[in-house]
Chain A
Amino acid sequence: MRDPCAHCEEMMQPYLDRILTEEEMAEAEAHLAECETCRRRYRFEESLRVYVRQAVSEQMPPELKERLAALRIPLE
């Protein structure tokens, strides 16, 4: 029999990307419900994604916005 935690690890990225089939999703959730270690790891991965996205999101400089608007083609 395969190691359920290893199988759960394989499903983690697709699970968080929401591309698992319903059946696979149910399988992952059944394991997560009973395995605290995997649950923590999934939660960590989920928080990490949000955290990374926030950390690297930079506001566009306002001058650039003005420069872009100035590129519009004037009406004849």
Chain B
Amino acid sequence: MNDGATVALVEAGSDEEIEPSESGTTAERLAAGARDRVRFEEDALALSDQVYRVARHLAGSREEAEDLVQETYARAFRSWRSFQPGTNLRAWLLRILTNLNIDRGRRQQRAPQTQALEANDYFLYDRLAENGDGLPDEDRVVERLSQDDIVAALSAVPHDFRDVIVLVDIGDFTYQDAAQILDIPIGTVMSRLHRGRRILKRELAESALEEGA
């Protein structure tokens, strides 16, 4: 590196009299920066439906979700330069969102350590099948769950487990993305997902059986 030349360029740059170089004049660079920013904002806004869909279930309520999404975008637009182009923008936005959610102290609830165990992976199917007539038809069995049952069951899953379900099963994030967004090891994502899905099914079984009773 030629340090002398670098310093000269910076000094000249402040007078806006530098020679046009590979990266263009100051004005051109500013224009390119503005263009990058506009593109960033447009890309981020195009993802807002997907961000909201996930945020809705990371937050405790619809109002909280709206607030969080709004704050996330305000912060993203301010710090757009820290986004590395070519990486996953949706995951980057969700990382901001989960950090804001934690900062707001909405994440105090810890996963209960002493939950009755949620049987096995086939628990829900078996319980619904037991209550049906004759041999269960898979699709019919699923249809016995109402939309409200499902929303209520998901919100009854403790936060730590729910977050991974929401990111992976609803947001379609990979285990790796979910690990980065939540800042936890990938093995923890997998174990919480496994356990969380079972808890969800236990909750669903309870509400479905209550209705069927």
Contact = CB atoms under 8 A, between A and B. Distances in A.
A76 to B, nearest CB: 8
A41 to B, nearest CB: 5
Interface in A59-76: 59-61, 64-65, 67-69, 71-73, 75-76
Interface stretch (B8-16, B68-76, B97-105): B68-76
B106 interface: no
Contact of B125 (A13, A17, A45, A55): A45
Task: Indicate the size class of the contact surface on chain A.
Answer: 20 to 34
A64 B66 contact: yes
A2 B125 CA distance: 23
Contacts of A67: 70
B53 A68 contact: no
B150 A51 contact: yes
Interface stretch (B21-29, B33-41, B82-90, B109-117): B33-41
A32 interface: no
A58 B77 CA distance: 24
- Main DSSP-derived SS at the A contact region: helix
A30 B41 CA distance: 49
A52 interface: yes
Contacts of B142: 44, 47-48, 51
Interface string A9-20: 100110001010
Contacts of B154: 52, 56
B3 interface: no
A7 interface: no
A17 B170 CA distance: 13
5 contacts: A9-B121, A19-B175, A47-B138, A65-B45, A76-B34
Interface of B: 34, 37-38, 41, 45, 48-49, 52-53, 56-57, 62, 66, 69-70, 73-74, 77-78, 120-122, 124-125, 136, 138-139, 141-143, 145, 147, 150-151, 154, 168-170, 175, 193-194, 197, 200-201
